[in-house]
Structure 1
Amino acid sequence: MSSSMVSILRKSIVKPSSPTPISLRTHSLSYIDQALSHMYIPFAFFFPKPQQQTITNNISQAIQTSLSKTLTAYYPYAGFLRDNASVDCNDTGVEFIDARIHCPMSDVLNDIENSQTIVFPNELPWRNSYEKLAVAQVSRFECGGIAISASLCHKIGDGFTASKFINDWAATTRDSNVKPYAHFVRDSVIPPPENSPPLPTPVILAQTQHCRQKRFFFSASKINSLKAMVAAKTGIQNPTRTEVVSAYLYKCIVKTREDSNTLRPSQLFQYADIRPLALPQRLAPTSAGNLLSTFCISTTHDDDLDVARLVADLRNRKQVLYGEDMIKENELALEIYESTKGGQKPYEGDGFDKYFFSSICNLPMYDVDFGWGRPMHVSVPMGPFKNFILLFGNKSMGGVDAWVTMEEDHMAALEQNEELLQEFTST
């Protein structure tokens, strides 16, 4: 869908409604923050036409006003990166774009994998942010439908932080008496190594050339069947939907890459939230910032691809991760730092095909309500690189949308995977 179908009505800068206190003007970045790139985390929310005309007439102003209030709590997003160790929280503000899209919203939703970038500023999704650390856009369609997109710098916070920001923003729009709150952990929880200079800024560019994105829907009933099978074979109590969907989808993906019936050595990397860890400084479950790491499992033989075995391996690796001293080590941060220092891309080389799974199944993305109801659809643009799989809680109870980005030929093979087609509905 061409960007010529978008008319930019106005661009503006939204600043926090209250100035950031002097004591918070310098936001020190943690070791994980420093290891991450400036890449945006992008989300898009699609809403049907509001029933009340007064909402439609005042939507842009109402959203900007609530965004201004929300930024008082999420003040680092309204600043700028002083260097790779700190953010100057000087209330510079975030960019806000009001746009008109010259087609009905159904045209985008019917081709969501290819068309959703139209509700973001041109070429923005997954780009590295060097000026504004947050960009928001409200897009109104010819049918009266509304899309709201938010792109938040990963250097400031992870997917959990982005989700909380957006939900707080929506709640403040819905009720002006709401007072958003965010506690940024800064560098007190996972500080850089003692007496070490700031990490060099990693420039990790989105790479999706020759790639395609597809959404695979896993219903609650199919997920429950997988959970029961895994529990029966392994004795694992309450396997999660993230574990069983990751294992099953990974198996299908790897099987499509067999060379003459020989399995290619592969690895499944899972991003993990470390908020549940018993760190020396006790974290609130809603702490903001980048509180994540990774763990991985490897497969080299067909027997390794048994779904129950994969789930058991994932569970074991997660328990090992949660048992480590995360103050001294963070697998994600160390990998990015070491590879960048050596002039490589993170997780490059060593002969394994690598697949990266990130789950936001438990984040309340479909609870986002700006005052005219919950979204009919929530999505993310293709990216940021090939072999990236984002697991998204579907609006149907207990289901999962798997947004898969892979090279075109690999995706074509996956779409013909008989086991995947037989067991699950692909949309």
Structure 2
Amino acid sequence: MVDMEINIVSRDTIKPAAAATSSLHPHQKPCNLCIFDQLIPTTYVPMLFFYPIIDPNFNLPQTLAHLKNSLSHTLTQYYPFSGRTKDNLYIHDFDAGVPYLEARVECRMFEVLELQEIELLNRFLPFHPFCKETESPDLLPLVAFQVTVFACGGISIGISLSHKIFDTQTANIFLKSWASVSRRDHEEAITSNPNLCQASLTFPVSDNLPQKYLAFMESMWFEEKKYVTRRFVFDAKAIATLREKAKSELVPNPTRVEALTCFLWKHATSASRHGGTSRRASAVAHAVNLRRRLKPPMPDNAIGNLFLWATTIYNPSDTGETTDELCDLLQLLHESFNGLDHDSLDALRGEDGRRAIFEYLDQLLEWMEILDPTPEIYAFTSWINILDEVDFGWGKPFWIGVMGKVGHAFRNLTVFVNTQRGNGIEAWVTMDEKQMSIMEKDPQFLAFASPNPRIMNV
């Protein structure tokens, strides 16, 4: 029996390096959010990194002390992350600091990974993932850490990132910066310094953001249901086959993520309609990084929620059919991606852009009122080709996990993560429990998806 009791041995608050405190004085002016930050409800995104330690000369106390010290120095450059939000407009109080927990568990890392019980993963995170945070957001930290040491020296780093300021790329640049400082790669640390102002200058906040938009966005993120999270792995062969099935004359070379998104969309809606005659519309909302789609492109180190949801809807009542070819769904998805081009995004810049964003939200509100019943919404986000380089000096992560279970109120969400071996993709799927129980028994789904295989094998 594996002892999975995790003991918190210390709780600290890490602040920007004391030696650099004086350099923060010029920055006491609050750091503005951008309008996309404003519109996102306060909730924590989880990320988990597992590192086996096999070096017999590994000095654990020294490593743990250095990890905290390197985080403090990293926060000197990323000082907004050490602050607190104010009135959903800006970040201030940069000396508030970030929670930092150290924990011990009396079992080996590979014993935990062999259990294949992803529900246990939340024990390695400082905050519960994707909860509807009801506490005043002005009091909540923007990021928190839990470093857990396993018997025989393996280490996991669990991170809870507030979606109020972190999108995936922001998390990526910050974690890579911390890792480069930790392994004393000063050249990379300098080149990855953050751009703190570009997002708010390009997409400024609204001093009088209408409450109806905040309420609408919260309803899009959270819905009371009994959700479960499952991990499915698609190997390289399965992905190649699905890409072949999904291609068409209009989209001759679909990406891996596009093919998997539509495959999951297809089977999720099929599970929803199982045993009934429901023709309820379904929609996909796929997170798209805006930085390189803007003209001129915004730098990768621009922090903030610089993404939009590429949305598309399939309404069976329009076609009179309730089954869909993969290639048909992929064409719909591809069109939604193409719609986020630099011309359409340029219209969202500045004061005029804010009005365009409000008009877009009004259209969505109207759209949701017209469709009866309201469509099922499936959200997707990709962590493919990022996060793999988060090397603190002990090598790349052996495995990147996401979470065990979301809060009781959330939405259908799939997170795509690279397998660390074999060029496959892990899909972390959160869905209504009844719907999930149908999909994970569907033989056509299981012909391509492997449910929670041994982590040692992927």
Output the TM-score relative to the length of structure 1. 0.88
Indicate the residue corresponding to 2:456 in structure 1. none
- What's the offset of the Cα at 1:212? 1.4
Q: Are 1:277 and 2:293 matched, yes or no?
A: yes
Counterpart selection for 2:201 from 148, 168, 188:
188
Q: CA deviation at 1:351?
A: 2.3
Aligned partner letter, 2:394: W
CA distance in structure 2 between the partners assigned to 1:238 and 1:21 by the alignment: 52
Unaligned runs of 5+ in 1: none
Partner of 1:238: 253
- Aligned equivalents of 1:348, 1:140: Cα separation in 2: 51
Q: Distance in 1 between matches of 2:271 and 2:151?
A: 42
2:52 and 2:109 map into 1 onto residues whose CA distance is: 9
Q: 2:376 maps to what in 1?
A: 353
Instruction: Please name the residue that 1:369 is paired with.
Output: 391
**Counterparts in 2 of 1:73-88, with a 5 A limit?**
73-88=77-92
Match of 1:149 in 2: 158
Equivalent-residue separation in structure 1 for 2:62 and 2:444 (angstroms)? 50
Q: What does residue 253 of structure 1 align with?
A: 268
Q: Once the two structures are superposed, what CA deviation does each residue of 1:203-225 show, in whole Å capped at 9, x if it has no partner?
A: 95866752211111111222122
Per the alignment, do residues 425 and 311 of structure 1 end up closer, same or farther by CA in structure 2, a change over 3 Å counting?
Answer: same
Q: In the alignment, residue 319 of structure 1 is paired with which amino acid?
A: N
Using the TM superposition, give the Cα deviation of residue 401 of structure 1 relative to its aligned residue in structure 2, in angstroms: 0.7
> Displacement, 1:246?
0.1
In the TM superposition, what is the alpha-carbon distance from 1:15 to its structure 2 partner?
Answer: 1.0
Task: Tell me the residue number matched to 1:116.
Answer: 121
Query: 2:377 is matched by which residue type in structure 1?
Result: K
How do 1:68-217 residues align onto structure 2 when only pairs under 5 Å count? 68-109=72-113, 110-121=115-126, 123=128, 126=131, 128=133, 130-175=139-184, 177=186, 178-179=189-190, 180-184=192-196, 185-192=198-205, 196-198=207-209, 204=218, 210-217=226-233
Distance change in 2, residues 1:127/1:414 (3 Å) = same
Is 2:306 the partner of 1:295?
no
Amino acid at match of 1:410: Q
- Give the AA of the match of 1:45: F
Alignment check: 8 A CA contact 2:4 2:107 kept: no
Shift in CA distance, 350/314, structure 1 to aligned 2, threshold 3 Å: same
The corresponding residue for 2:282 is 266
Structure 2 gaps of 5+ residues are 453-458
Displacement of 1:310 after TM fit?
1.2
**Which of 381, 389, 401 is the aligned partner of 2:426?**
401
Q: Is the 2:81–2:94 contact (alpha carbons within 8 Å) kept by the matching residues of 1?
A: no
Letter in 1 for 2:383: I
8 Å Cα contact 1:256/1:410 also seen in 2: yes
Residue in structure 2 matched with residue 60 of structure 1 by the alignment: 64
Q: Distance in 2 between matches of 1:22 and 1:207?
A: 43
Partner of 1:314: 333
Partner of 2:239: 223
- What's the CA shift for 1:350? 4.6
Please give the alpha-carbon distance, in whole angstroms, between the structure 1 residues aligned to 2:244 and 2:89.
Answer: 47
> Cα deviations across residues 333-383 of structure 1 (Å, max 9, x unaligned)?
7599779999xx9999752111111112132x2221111111111111133
Q: Which moved more, 1:83-92 or 1:210-219?
A: 83-92
Aligned-pair identity in percent equals 25
Contact 2:109 2:151 in 1 (8 A): yes
Distance 2:446 2:11 in 1: 45
Distance change >3 Å, CA 159–CA 8, structure 1 → 2: same
| 1:373 maps to amino acid | G
Contact 1:85–1:198 (8 Å) recurs in 2? no
Structure 1 residue 23: Cα displacement: 3.8
| Other structure's SS at 2:159 match | strand
Cα separation, partners in 2 of 1:49 and 1:347, compared to 1, 3 Å: farther
Q: Does the CA-based 8 Å contact 1:359-1:391 persist in structure 2?
A: yes
Amino acid at match of 1:229: K
- CA contact under 8 A between 1:33 and 1:290: conserved in structure 2? yes
* SS across alignment from 1:69: helix
Equivalents in 2 of 1:127, 1:97: separation in Å?
22
Q: Aligned partners of 1:219, 1:84: CA distance in 2, in Å?
A: 42
C-alpha distance 426-340 of structure 1, shift in aligned 2 (>3 A): same
Higher mean displacement: 125-134 or 329-338: 329-338
User: 1:104 offset after TM fit, Å?
Assistant: 2.8
Give the 3 Å change call, closer, same or farther, for CA 123–320 of structure 1 in structure 2. closer
Partner residue, 2:455: none
CA RMSD of aligned residues (A): 3.3
SS in 2 for 1:423: coil
- Residues 80 and 133, structure 1, Cα contact 8 Å, conserved in 2: yes
1:78 to 1:289, Cα distance in 2 relative to 1, 3 A: same
Q: 1:235, CA displacement in angstroms?
A: 4.2
Report SS of the residue matched to 1:234.
Answer: coil
Asked if structure 2 preserves the Cα contact closer than 8 Å seen for 1:247 and 1:307, the reply is: yes
The answer to whether the 8 Å contact 1:81/1:87 transfers is yes
Q: Normalized against structure 2, the TM-score is what?
A: 0.82
Larger fraction in helix: 2
1:33-65 residue CA offsets vs partner (Å, 9 max, x unmatched)? 111122122211111124143432322211111
Secondary structure of the structure 2 residue equivalent to 1:284: coil
Q: 2:400, 2:183 → 1: CA distance?
A: 19
CA shift at 1:426, angstroms?
A: 2.2
Q: How many angstroms does 1:170 deviate by? A: 1.2
CA distance in 2, matches of 1:396, 1:242: 17
- Residues 103 and 147 of structure 2 are in contact (CA less than 8 Å); yes or no, is this contact kept in structure 1? yes
Label 1:303 to 1:235 Cα distance change in 2 as closer, same or farther (>3 A). farther
Distance 1:253-1:347 versus aligned 2 partners, 3 A rule: farther
Counterpart of 1:392, as a letter, is V
Distance 1:50 1:3 in 2: 21
